[in-house]
Amino acid sequence: MSASYQYNVVAFFLLSFLLLINPSASLAQNSSPHLSLTPTVKEVNAGINFNVTVSVDTGGQQASGVDAVVQYDSSLLEVVSVSEGTFFPTITTITTTLGKVEIYGVADTGSPKTGTGTLATITFKGKAPGTAAVSFVCQSGSTSDSNINSTSDTDVIVCASNVNASYVITGQSATTTPAATASAESLPQTGFLEPTALMIGGGIILMILGLAFIF
């Protein structure tokens, strides 16, 4: 085995290890400007609040502002609150339209933002069992939906790169557990009394037969 071959093998395994511990490093140079929701998948009981983070990735470009328009299934989800993030110094949120959350972030004049960060955190509550889709309203070439605006007032968002989410709302089954437990606990008591009564009855019969045999 040549020294160059051994070197290539070691280099391959070293690169693989680095990608495993930091997979984002391999994607850093190819990231497109996009928005994302975290977590992308979650299961929660109806009536329980849960948080969804709305994030922005400028894809290495300078952004003067971001418009994130999030749509959700209002028959399954309810917006409890929206907390402003820290990526932009000025963030405005609007929740007046049922089924929609609008988040607008603006950079300071002369100080565009670059990189990734949190725009806002939406607190949802499950209303009814079902699978609720939550996604960004985004169409290429449109300025009335989700946008990432460059310093030249150009929308640079890549809608296909946006990361949407889906949340499973389940019914609350906790209320049926105590009844089921109580029924389960009552079964051994009934099962215990019946064998005991049979054993006592059988003993009495054997005793009578034994006395009859003696006399």
Domain count of the fold of the chain = 2
Strands 165-170 and 41-45: parallel
* Short-list 82, 75, 108, 103, CA closest to 91: 103
Output the domain CATH number for residue 62.
2.60.40.680
User: What is the pLDDT at residue 178?
Assistant: 44
Residue 164 CB partners (closer than 8 Å, separation 6+): 37, 40, 133, 134, 135, 136
Same domain, 41 and 17: no
Kindly report whether the global pTM for this prediction surpasses the value 0.75: no
User: Which pLDDT score is estimated for 76?
Assistant: 98
Judge if 13 and 47 occupy the same domain: no
Judge whether residue 41 has pLDDT over 60.
yes
Band (pLDDT 50/70/90 cuts) for residue 205 is low
Same domain for 22 and 128: no
Contact 103, 54 (CB under 8 A): yes
pLDDT at 141: 85
Q: Identify whether 39 is preceded by a cis peptide bond (ω within 30 of 0).
A: yes
Asked if the structure places residue 208 within a domain, the reply is no
Q: Let me know the angle formed at the C-alpha of 201 by 197 and 204, rounded to the nearest 5 degrees.
A: 145
127 and 52 within one domain: yes
Residues 103-158: pLDDT tens digits? Answer: 999 999 999 999 999 999 999 999 999 999 999 999 988 989 999 999 998 999 99
Whole-angstrom distance, CA of residue 92 vs CA of residue 114: 19
